[in-house]
Amino acid sequence: MNSLNRAVDDAISGWRSGTRRSQQLVLAALSAGVVVSMVVSLHDYDVFPLAGFFVWMLLGLLLLRFRELVALSVVVVAGGTISRLAHGAGAGGRVAGVVLLLLAAALVLFASSRQRSGLPGPLSAALLADLRDRLNAQGRVPELPGSWECETAMVGAHGVGYAGDFMVADLDAGTGRLDLVLVDVVGKGVKAAPSALLLAGALGGMVGALRGPALFEAANTFLLRQDERYTEETFATAVHLSVDLTDGRYTILSAGHPPALTWEPDRGEWVADGARGLALGVLPYLELEASTGVLAPGQALLFYTDGVVESRSNDIEDGIRWLQDTAATAFAKGRYGAARRIIRQVPRGDDDRAVLVLSRG
């Protein structure tokens, strides 16, 4: 029994990896099923009519790559044709059934040929889900010491799980230095996800090792080197926060990003930060104007992408004022859950939306 279980697990793992041998095994199993179906149909057509052969085509679409699916289609069409021509009251009905089976095979093959990944549909979906999870994993913030708290909330355009907004984080436990980078890649939703994944991987390897302007200069060079055959536009806006968790001293760098907001508890309002700069991937040089400060107990920093404050009916300045008021109301209810409360108040739009809040209790 154990050997059988291992064999089944190996077969499933092989299929998930898309190996040629696993595809051939699945093709053989499906072809054997078609042959058995044809034998049953020839013996008693009512038990397995022509419609049953369509099921084998759908299974092939789910399990096989295009090359193997073509072979299965030939077997299915042959088996269905033999079965249909051997039964039926009229020649017209038999021919019509065969024609429908041929059309179904052509549609299935066309759908399979449109899979740009070269994998069956479920494997392509699993691959996309894995890429999405890897993108989200880049932004997981480690547990912070003391009274520090970091919260994020992100929503993709049109509610899809893939977005051009992402975050990368790095915590040096030895020095107590936390680095957070919030990025908005040009584009929306699924269209921006490939570029976001590439840039997230690059920034994930650089953040912590590079700080200050050097980090954005490296990211800018990375974007400028992207092949235009695969990415029509490769620029992004980003904001980088580097904060010493021992004393609260921080530096903010902005590359074309909307201004960060600082919570002033004495005034009960969010104040716009002064960091400014050029977006990444536009020019070979960057003009960056950093801002510095000390995050005292009770204060917080709020970062967001333009999807939070921009819409077709309002400009970004109006959106920032709206966010200042909305975030003040949300933060007044407590710092825990503030990011989610803010993102829920953002009107639904056609752009990705992300909010990051770092607070010190």
Q: Which two tokens stand for residue 143?
A: 């547990």
- Round to whole Å and give the CA distance between 15 and 109: 19
Checking if the pLDDT of 292 tops 90, the result is yes
The more confidently predicted of residues 95 and 253 is 253
- C-beta neighbour count of 135 within 10 angstroms: 23
Indicate the CATH number for domain 138-360. 3.60.40.10
Cα angle, residue 335 at apex, residues 331 and 338 outer, rounded to 5°: 65
- Round to whole Å and give the CA distance between 284 and 301: 30
Q: Which residue has the tokens 């607070």?
A: 359
Looking at residue 35, what is its pLDDT?
A: 94
Distance (Å) of CA 259 to CA 135, 165, 273:
24, 16, 6
Checking if the pLDDT of 66 tops 80, the result is yes
The more confidently predicted of residues 61 and 87 is 61
Give tens-digit pLDDT for 330-353: 998 999 999 999 999 987 766 788
The DSSP output letter for 157 is: G
- SS3 assignment for 243-274: EECCCCEEEEEEEECCCCEEEECCCCEEEECC
Confidence bin at 135 (pLDDT 50/70/90): low
Looking at residue 129, what is its pLDDT?
A: 64
Q: Which two tokens stand for residue 239?
A: 């904001």
Checking if the pLDDT of 81 tops 70, the result is yes
- Round to whole Å and give the CA distance between 127 and 125: 5
Asked if residue 331 lies in contact with residue 299, where contact means CB atoms within 8 angstroms, the answer is no
Checking if the pLDDT of 95 tops 60, the result is yes
Region 24-30: mean pLDDT is 90
Asked if residue 208 lies in contact with residue 179, where contact means CB atoms within 8 angstroms, the answer is yes
The reported pTM is 0.70
The more confidently predicted of residues 62 and 177 is 177
Give tens-digit pLDDT for 242-290: 999 999 999 999 999 999 999 999 999 999 999 999 999 888 888 899 9
Checking if the pLDDT of 116 tops 70, the result is no
Q: Which of 224, 219, 213, 221 is nearest to 287 (CA)?
A: 213
Q: H or E stretch including 292? A: strand 291-294
Checking if the pLDDT of 293 tops 90, the result is yes
Region 102-121: mean pLDDT is 80
Checking if the pLDDT of 297 tops 60, the result is yes
Buried-exposed string 176-187: b where 16+ CB fall within 10 A, e elsewhere: bbbbbbbbbbbb
Looking at residue 205, what is its pLDDT?
A: 81
What residue spans define the domains of the chain?
Answer: 2-125, 138-360
Looking at residue 204, what is its pLDDT?
A: 81
- Round to whole Å and give the CA distance between 137 and 31: 41
Region 127-144: mean pLDDT is 70
Looking at residue 138, what is its pLDDT?
A: 63
Q: H or E stretch including 294? A: strand 291-294
Confidence bin at 34 (pLDDT 50/70/90): very high
Looking at residue 14, what is its pLDDT?
A: 59
Q: Which residue has the tokens 């149909």?
A: 41
